[in-house]
Structure formats: C-alpha cells, structure tokens
Structure 1
Amino acid sequence: MVLTDTVSLTDALIDIPVALRDDKLQRRDAGTRRLTLDDARGPDPAASADGESMPNEHGGTRDADGDMDMDMDMDMDMSGPAGIALAGGDQDRDGLEMDVTHLSIGPILPAWPADLIVHATLHGDVVADARIERIPRSAEPEQPPVLATLIDDAARLLEVAGWEPTALSLARIRGDVITGRDVDRLRPQLRRTLVRVRRSRTLRWSLAGIDAVQRGALRIRLLAWLDTALELLESPPKARKIPEVISLRVISEDDLREAIVGRELSETRLIVAGLGTHQPWQSAEVTHE
C-alpha cells in the first residue's frame, strides 16, 4: 500500500507499534510464511490462518500461536553438541551443586613449564582437586645466564597477569642479554620496567592474596626477580646474597597441589608461573600417560 497523505502516514506510525506488541498476531503472521533453507531442513508448510496445528520435526505438533504440544519422542541424545559430554554435577564446599569439569592444563601453553601437566577437577572455575604430572626430559637443557633466567621468569609471570606489553619488553631485554648487548643500554630499560611494576596498583591488586609455592607473596617474588636482575646489571656487580624469596628451593608435587586446590583457574596459572623456569623438584618416580 502506498501512503499518499500525511494523515495516513501518521495513522500507520501509530498502528505499527501496536501491531508489533501483539505477540499472537506476530506468531500468526510468521506461521503464514515458509522458511527456506539450502539443505531443505526448514519447517513444513505453515498452518492455515484458522489455527490448524502443524507437525514439527520431533513428531509433536505446534499450534498457530506457536505453542508446542509436548508429545514428542523424548529419547533424544542429550549428551551434548557433537556427542561431547557436558559437565557433570557435584556439591561444592558450601553444599551447593556445581558443574564438574575435568581439565588437563599444559604442557603446551604460553608461559607454562614445558615439563608440567596439571590434571584438575574444576567446580565451576575453582580447582577442587588436582594431580600433578611431570614429563621426563630426554636431556637437561643448556642453562642460560642467571640474569637472563630472572628476566625471563618475571616476563612469564607478567604475561599471565595480563601485562603483555611489559612482558614483551622484558623478553627483548632477555634476548639482548643472551646476545651480549651493551649493559649500559639495558640498565635504564630494566630500571623503568621495575619502577612501573612496583608502582602499579592494578598489578598489586591482581596478585593480592596469592602466594608462590613455599615462598610467600607472589608479588614480592616478582619484585625480587627484577631487583636482583637490576643488581646484576650494575657495573661492577654488587656482591649480595641471592634473596631467599627467589632461591631455587626444592618442592614436591604435593606442595604444588596444596597451593592450587581451592584456587580459581586464573590464580592457578599465576601460581605456576611463579615457580620459575628452572624449579627443582624432589626426586620421585615420574610417569607419563
């Protein structure tokens, strides 16, 4: 219909919202149309305007107002999309039922140790239980300089904490250390990074309440890595004892498990990143599934 005068246009603008709010009218109008799909899986021809019921793909019927008759076959496979099992249910610590998911984390994961897998049972996003698996190495890798290791460990932790630009800057400094670049040019870059990390309230909040395994607060460990790296860049290096917070204390798989159980998945990533790249472990029989 072509509107030829202002009155007709005004009336139409008033009537349109009223019609759109009429749910039954909209369903009835939709029922008079045919959905066209390339694979011919669309619905059968629509019901007539007198309200005659329409068959649906499950063997039930749908009336003209869109209400489904629930006499369909209920033996459908409800296991999940593409046959993938959905999360089960279990009681959480507060007695409420939570989704339970079994997830293996690592070893191919950014900023994650290459010889570590955590088989976690998750209640929502909380680690309810965990089994630690370490992958045996065919040979011990060549150890980089201590300075490069400290910078690399700090970069990995910052990457997991969401500080990707700063982590990338530290990775460049580490590369320059490995290639023997002039330390006089690296020292100001590392000092600026340390100041930025120390002053950040956002990072302080992100790491608050999270402890490194057997070493106290994770933020303190991060700052100790950077402080010690800067000291090693001094010319001549200052004689100082390696802080206890960054020393490579031997830990066990149970130590890591106790540290992550009850933590959220994001906190678990941070705790593992806080181990460092050359964390020594207690001798134990190592199995790999």
Structure 2
Amino acid sequence: MDMAPAGIALAQGGQDRDGLEMDVLHLPLGPVLPFWPAGLALLCSLQGDVVVDAAASVVDGAGHAASSKEPQTPPVPASAVRCDGVMALLALAGADDAAARARRARDALVRGDQGAARDAVERLHRTVRRSWLLRWSLRGVMVLDPSDLARHDLPEVCRGDAHDRLSSLVEGLRSEVCGAVPAAVESGAVPWERMPQLVTGLELATVRLAVASLNLEPFSTVQETRHA
C-alpha cells in the first residue's frame, strides 16, 4: 500500500508533551506561498494543531548569474520593502482595505512619488490605529516578553504580540515617510534561523500571522537550522 498517497506524507507516532503517544504530521510551509517570505521553507512537526518541532531552510538566488543583457533595475527603497511586509500581515489578517493602502504606499515609494506615498501612509496609519478587526485578529499571536527577546536575541521592536509589532512597523514607516526630518528607523530585522524556536508551541492557524509579523533579515546563503 502506498504510504504517501498523492505525495502527501501520513502522520506517524510521537510522544506528546504529557507523555501520551499522538500522531505527528510533518507539514512544509514555503518556500513559495502567498504573503510568505520568499525562499523560506519551514517544516513543521504537528501534534494535533500544535507545532512541536520545526526546521527552517532558505532557497534564494545567490547562485544565479544574471545575464549582461538583462536590464539593471534600481534598488527598491527600504521603506517600500517595509510596506510589503505590512501588506502581507494585513492581507493574512483579512484586512483587505488596509492591505490595499499599504500596496498603494509601496507603489508610490517605488515610483518616487513622495506626495502620494505620504498620503497613502497617513491613511494606512489611521486605518490600522482604528481597526477593531486587526486587534481581534492579531492580539495574543506569538507574545514575546523581555525574557523572550533576551533568550532569542531579538530586537526591542519585536516585543509584544503581532498587533503590537504591526503598530510599531506602521509607526516607524509613518515617521520615515511623513516626518519633517528623515527618521532613523530601527529595522528590527530578525535572523531567519530564529524561526524554528519562535514557532514551536504555536497553533498552526497562527504560524503564518506570527511569521508575517516579524521583519526577517535578507537571505544570503542556502542553509538549514532546526529547533533542538
């Protein structure tokens, strides 16, 4: 009998946290998934709907040699990249209108239209600050207290839950794009190697929200890490 019908692995036995044996299902997330960090592959081991172990790896284009005939594109502004991260989290939370505002802000920043970018970011800030849907969707998702930040060596902007991190991202973006004086915005970048430890213990339904609430560092090499 085929033990992996249609290529989908079946659950296997494993020890639960209370000592009882439960089925363990291995579920891959990424490296290609809507509103997911491109290139990140996260293999989650599940007991029920809880992640009990995880391994992460990245696949990027570091080995791709660009053709000399390919047009050279200008670098994307860091603020536009941050807009992309905000848009992904908003879309996953079901806040489609707010995600559309973040998309318009990103497009304006890429075009260099500072007036349109400031208007879009101000509207985005008001929408996020007033949205009860976002508070309901993101409150309690991967809560990180000061001891968690110290244990995982994470920046201060990661403190709190996913809603706190969203608010911090949008506040920083507003300061950077709309401030009278260019602001020194803390990137709050999180090494992707931290992801297995951070998602272990989460319910599967919140993993994508948790990952989207963090600003991962750019991937530079193809590596793998596992939660021990």
TM-score range, shorter chain: 0.7 to 0.9
Whichever residue aligns with residue 279 of structure 1, its letter is E
Aligned to 2:104: 172
Structure 2 CA distance, aligned partners of 1:82 and 1:135?
24
Distance 1:112 1:94, change over 3 A: same
Structure 2 CA distance, aligned partners of 1:84 and 1:104?
10
Structure 1 CA distance, aligned partners of 2:9 and 2:218?
37
Correspondences of 1:98-137 after superposition (within 5 Å): 98-137=22-61
Correspondences of 1:198-213 after superposition (within 5 Å): 198-209=129-140, 210-211=142-143
In structure 2, which of residues 217, 220, 223 is the aligned counterpart of residue 286 of structure 1?
Answer: 223
Relative contact order higher in (CA < 8 Å, ≥ 6 apart)? 2
In the alignment, structure 1 residue 223 sits paired with structure 2 residue 198: no
Structure 2 CA distance, aligned partners of 1:248 and 1:84?
34
SS across alignment from 1:89: strand
SS across alignment from 2:41: strand
Query: Where do 5+ consecutive residues of structure 1 fail to align?
Result: 1-76
Aligned to 2:207: 268
Q: Deviations over 1:7-27 (max 9, x none)?
A: xxxxxxxxxxxxxxxxxxxxx
Aligned to 1:257: 196
SS across alignment from 1:167: helix
In structure 1, which of residues 236, 244, 247 is the aligned counterpart of residue 188 of structure 2?
Answer: 247
Structure 2 CA distance, aligned partners of 1:151 and 1:285?
26
Correspondences of 1:136-155 after superposition (within 5 Å): 136-138=60-62, 143-155=75-87
User: In the TM superposition, what is the alpha-carbon distance from 1:169 to its structure 2 partner?
Assistant: 2.7
User: In the TM superposition, what is the alpha-carbon distance from 1:195 to its structure 2 partner?
Assistant: 1.8
User: In the TM superposition, what is the alpha-carbon distance from 1:107 to its structure 2 partner?
Assistant: 0.7
Structure 2 CA distance, aligned partners of 1:133 and 1:267?
20
Query: Where do 5+ consecutive residues of structure 2 fail to align?
Result: 65-72, 145-151
Structure 2 CA distance, aligned partners of 1:138 and 1:284?
7
TM-score calculated relative to the size of structure 2: 0.74
User: In the TM superposition, what is the alpha-carbon distance from 1:104 to its structure 2 partner?
Assistant: 1.3
Identity, % of aligned positions: 35
Whichever residue aligns with residue 170 of structure 1, its letter is A
TM-score calculated relative to the size of structure 1: 0.60
In the alignment, structure 1 residue 87 sits paired with structure 2 residue 17: no
Structure 2 CA distance, aligned partners of 1:184 and 1:198?
21
Distance 1:159 1:96, change over 3 A: farther
User: In the TM superposition, what is the alpha-carbon distance from 1:82 to its structure 2 partner?
Assistant: 6.6
